[in-house]
Structure 1
Amino acid sequence: MQNEPLALRVNDAAAYIGLSRSRLYELIADGVIEARKLGARTVVPTSSLRAFVEAAPRKAGA
């Protein structure tokens, strides 16, 4: 994706991959998706989101 941000805030990251904010926090806590603290803000690298989606099983017939 052109001009993609390096990281997204948690709300934006959840919307980006179609998950709830709570589910995203669970995946972060489980170490499945990376997160970083920038001051008081938690951000998620878009590379981590992409890797998570790419690793998901493919739907049959898709």
Structure 2
Amino acid sequence: MMRAEMNFDSPSAALSIDEAAYHLRISRAGLWRLLKDGRLPKAKVGGRTLVRRRDLEAFLDQCVEVSN
């Protein structure tokens, strides 16, 4: 799927590696590091590695810095 064709408004519960990396605006290698380090959970489905949308959102929530 071309990046320009990705639709993050879809009700999909899980994202591919490409979609998750694009959503976070990081490289595929960066996403794989997060998965390998256990900072972001992954799901294996039929040989594919997926990231649940809710896990991605929870990860982003943990990354938010609050400044005073």
Q: TM-score range by the shorter chain?
A: 0.7 to 0.9
Larger relative contact order, structure 1 or 2 (CA cutoff 8 Å, min sep 6) = 1
- Give me the whole-angstrom Cα distance separating, in 2, the residues matched to 1:59 and 1:30: 24
Q: How does the TM-score come out when normalised to structure 1?
A: 0.82
Q: Which runs of 5+ in 1 are unaligned?
A: none
4+ residue segments displaced more than 6 Å:
none
Identical aligned residues as a percent: 30
Q: Which runs of 5+ in 2 are unaligned?
A: 1-8
Q: How does the TM-score come out when normalised to structure 2?
A: 0.76
- For the aligned residue pairs, the C-alpha RMSD in angstroms reads 1.8
Alignment of 1:42 onto 2:49: yes
